[in-house]
Each structure stands twice: as C-alpha cells, then as structure tokens.
Amino acid sequence: MKAFKLENEPKRITGFKTPEHYFDDFSARVLQQVNDKQEVKVIPIYKRKRVLSLFAAAVMVIGLMIPIVNNYTNTSKDLDEDTLETYLSYQSNLNQYDLIKELDTKDIDKLNKGVALEQETLEDILASNPNIENLISE
C-alpha cells in the first residue's frame, strides 16, 4: 500500500461559496428577522393531555356501557313455561282452585284448543282410575 499524502493530492473545490461581506452584517439581519416575526399562539401540553384524557375516558365509558345496555334491552318480560311450572310446583299453598280463579275466558279458550282428547282416551282414563268419583266432582 502506498503512502497517502494530503499535501500532494489535488484539492477539490466545493460548489458552495459565501457572498462577499455576508458575515459583516449577519447578526443585525438575524436580530431584525427575529423581531419582525409575529407571536405564535402556543398551546400548552397539559391542556392537550386533558382533552385527550377526557376523550379516552368517554370512549371507555361508552365501551363499558354497550354490554349493559344490550343486556337490558334483550331481557324478555315473558316467562317461559318451564320456569312458571317450576315456580308453581314449589308453591305448597297453591291449589287448583286458586289457578282456576286467575284464568279468564281467553286463557280458557286457549286451553280448550290445546287439549285434543278423543272419546276413547277419555274412556280409558275413566276406566283405569279407581277414584272416578273424585274426577267427576272436580
């Protein structure tokens, strides 16, 4: 490897030159530009954080309220038959006469349409039941 000598190499000229007497009044020009600039409105960081934190809190509240509102709107007001039957079976002081008193004509019509007893089925039930007098009296 040959020795590298800086003094012997040709010097390259850069493309940049400063104009004549550029730095003579440089400080005066910079001060004049600084004084001529208008005041810029500065928004403090703590105010921006406050708005951002309020926005984040609102998003969190809305996000947490969605399942609660959805649960309240989807709950059904009607009782299903199994729940009602279980409730009535565990009520010891409830008899058939109490249930009959609560029925109106629409309910009785629905019960008549739902029960389809044939004559043969009715005869079989009456023939096989030893307490026929109880069934007739009820």
User: 112-132, pLDDT tens digit by residue?
Assistant: 777 777 788 878 877 887 777
Within 13 Å of residue 70, how many CA atoms lie on the same side as its CB? 6
Q: What percent of the chain has pLDDT over 70?
A: 88
CA atoms within 13 A on the CB side of 10: 3
pLDDT given for residue 58 in this prediction: 93
pTM of the model: 0.25
Confidence category of residue 74, pLDDT binned at 50, 70, 90: low
pLDDT of amino acid 47: 65
